[in-house]
Amino acid sequence: MPELPEVEVVRSGLAATAAGRVVEAVVLRAPALRWPIPADLDARLAGRTLRAVERRGKYLLLGFDHGRLIVHLGMSGTIAWTRRDAPLRAHDHVDLVFADGVLRLNDPRRFGAVLWHDAADGDAAAHPLLRSLGVEPFSEAFDGALLHAASRGRRVAIKQLLLSGTVVVGVGNIYASESLFRAGIRPTTPARRLSLARCERLADAIRVTLSAAIAAGGSTLRDFVSSEGTSGYFQLECNVYDRAGQPCRVCGAPVRTLRQQQRATYWCAGCQH
C-alpha cells in the first residue's frame, strides 16, 4: 500500500504537471472503487481549474475553487499523467482529461477511493475520512512531547501505535520499522514505557526516515510508481525492513523478524532496546 512518502512523491509530480490546468472532461469507467464514485463528477469539474494538489496523510486532495476531489490509492492504485491518446489498460477506472494530457487512475483491486467534498460543506479536513487522522509528521505540531503525551497509559506496542495513524500519520509498516531502528527502540516496547527523551528521539527518527524515503522516490515493493511512472528505491536503503537474517548494518547482529497484528516487523536486538 502506498504510504506517506509514496503519496507525497505522487503529489509533488501532479502539482508540477497538472496544477493550473483546466479540466475538459471526467471519464468514469467504473461506478465504484471502495465506495461509489460520484456519477456527476464530469458536470462538477468540466471547465474548472485544478488549483492545487495537496496531501493529508495518505490522501491526495485535488483542489478546485468549489471543493476538493479526495483520492486514495488503496492497496495498489496509481495515478499518472499520460497522453490523451495513450492506450487503455485493464483497471483504468477514472480519467481527468485536460487539453494536453490525462490524469488516469488505475486500481486493480478497487480498494482506492475517488470522492467529492464540496466547499459548501466546509473545510475538507472535516470530511469523515480525514477528521480523525493524527498530525502530519512534518508539521510543527508533531514532536516528542506530543508523542509522549499520546502514549501515556497505552499498553499497545509502540509500533502498533505508530501504525494506527491516530497520533501521527504516514508511518506505515516499512517506515515504522526503520524509524524505530533509527531511534534504538524495540518495536514491542509498550508505548507507555517510553520516556520523553526516547519519544523525542523517535519523533526525530520518523522525520528523518520519511524525508529519506521521499528523497528516494518512495519504496517500490510491488507495483508503486510515481505520477511519471518511475519506481522508488528507498527499499534498497533500509536498515532492517525485509532483511531478516542479514547482518545489521550497524552492529553486525542478524536482523530479526516477528509478526505484530499480521504485519511483519523487522528489528535488531543489538541496536534496539
Q: Which residues are catalytic?
A: 2-3, 58, 263
Asked if residue 113 lies in contact with residue 7, where contact means CB atoms within 8 angstroms, the answer is no
**208/186 Cα distance (integer angstroms):** 18
Q: Are strands 25-28 and 52-56 parallel, antiparallel or unpaired?
A: unpaired
Quote the distance between the C-alpha of residue 57 and its chain's center: 6
Comparing CA positions, the residue from 197, 183, 190, 208 lying closest to residue 268 is 183
β-bridge partners, 258: 265
Concatenating the DSSP letter of every residue in 60-79 gives: EEEEETTEEEEEE-TTT-EE
Question: How many C-beta atoms surround the C-beta of residue 235 within 10 A?
Answer: 17
Concatenating the DSSP letter of every residue in 86-150 gives: PPP-TTEEEEEEETTEEEEEE-TT---EEEEEEGGG--GGGSTTTTT--B-TTSTT-SHHHHHHH
CB neighbour burial string for 19-44, b if at least 16 within 10 angstroms, e if fewer: eeeebeebebeeeebbeebbeebbeb
Asked if residue 54 lies in contact with residue 61, where contact means CB atoms within 8 angstroms, the answer is yes
Query: What do you get for the CA distance between the two ends of the chain, in Å?
Result: 29
Q: Give me the residue label for grid cell 552492529.
A: 251
